[in-house]
Amino acid sequence: MLDMKWLREHAEEVQAVAGQKGIAVSIDDLLRRDEERRRLKRETDALREKRNRLSHEIGQLMALQGQAALSRREAPTDSDEAHRLRKEMIAVNARLAELAEELRAAELGVAELCERVPNVVSPDTPVGRSDQDNVERKRVGEPRLFEFEARDHIELGELHGLIDVPRGVKAAGSRHYYLKGAGVLLHRAVQQLALELLIGKGFTPLEVPLMAKEAAMAATAYFPQGKEQAYGVEGEGRYLVGTSEVPLVMYYAGEVVDLDVPIKLAAASMCFRSEVGSAGRDVRGLYRVHQFAKVEQVVLCRADPELSETLLQEITANAEELLQKLELPYRQVAVCTGDMSQKTYKQYDIETWMPSRAAYGETHSSSNLHDFQARRANIRYRDEKGTLRFCHTLNNTAVASPRILIPLLENHQREDGSIHIPEALRPYMNGMSELRAE
């Protein structure tokens, strides 16, 4: 959500960003509706003031008439003036009732359009239509060249008894799976490694709800644009979350927080995504599934662009450090306008080399939202002058599994089918240094 005064002054810029992000919203229509809302509000306030004045005048007049009647030992009667004032009061109340309906409709219309207005983007965000237009910033490590016919992660998973997709489909339908034995240990090991890395960097871990109210999804800017990707709980107005960013941000929704130092939160949680629109894409394996686990970083800081930019680099570096511990080659890309969500001001993706795809595949994402999300969630702090301001929020996927298992298994395989386990994971794998098929 953007400040309406600022939006009026930057309408063309916001409309251009809406087009770049593929969001159908008319900023001119929003501003016209907002002007009508403000006109109705001014008329309502003026009539309420008039009603208060009339009520006061009628009260004074009735008191004088009562005193006069008492002195004459007669019952008080309405004067022409009192009758006129009462008729005027009836007309004012009738118009206020009409205005209340008109104002409610106007406010609803403005709110609905505001929910679709995108955040603006940073000056260094590349302009483009899709992930094909993202701009590579750097590469770390070299993609592995195999001297033998490499197996993909499903073949490796079946060879070692780690993954069972057919039974996952039997139980729950397409894009579902079972992890077994050491597959479960790897799945949990990468999460625990990520969580402990973040705790060591000052993040507070939280166990979070896996469901959120519709209002919470809207407050964190996942609705309305992403509603089709969420699984709803029928009849309850709640949704399974696609990221713990939602409950982490909502932890402070509606509050005034102390941001003398940034608030850093982390959660390891199950996540759910319907994958609407991805029919026929990535149907083999674990790249695009309905249920997965993520370790998420969320940061709240003062509304200082330089500070939030520094923190964006920091949380991105945390994800990179994890990949280095996993001994995996990756690249970092600046995400273009057409590949960004409504709420994002600036975004980096980290893509890890996946031999079976002969390409880098997205495994991590870092975003700086400035105060867009905090405005919707109403999270504020007091600045040096004591003025309430909306904070900046940032988020990053420290690791997502089972997707990370794709490069982990494929890049570390050997010709005999065994799989090297990176040293950083061994404490969570009962000390195993490799996987060997029985």
Catalytic residues: 273, 288, 362, 365, 403
Q: What angle do CA 180, 267, 190 make, to 5 degrees?
A: 40
DSSP three-state, residue 399: strand
Q: Strand 346-354 and strand 330-334: pairing?
A: antiparallel
DSSP secondary structure letters along 277-314 = T-TTSS-SSSSS-SEEEEEEEEEEE-S-HHHHHHHHHH
User: What is d(CA 216, CA 153) in angstroms, rounded to the nearest whole number?
Assistant: 36
DSSP secondary structure letters along 134-167 = -EEEEEES-PPPPSS----HHHHHHHTT-EEHHH
DSSP secondary structure letters along 368-391 = E-TTHHHHHHT-EEE-TTS-EEEP
Q: Using omega within 30 degrees of 0 as the cis cutoff, is the peptide bond preceding 126 cis?
A: no
User: What is d(CA 386, CA 287) in angstroms, rounded to the nearest whole number?
Assistant: 48
Helices (H), 10-117: 11-21, 27-71, 80-114
Taking 3-state DSSP, the helix, strand and coil percentages for the chain, each rounded to the nearest 5, stand at 45, 20, 35
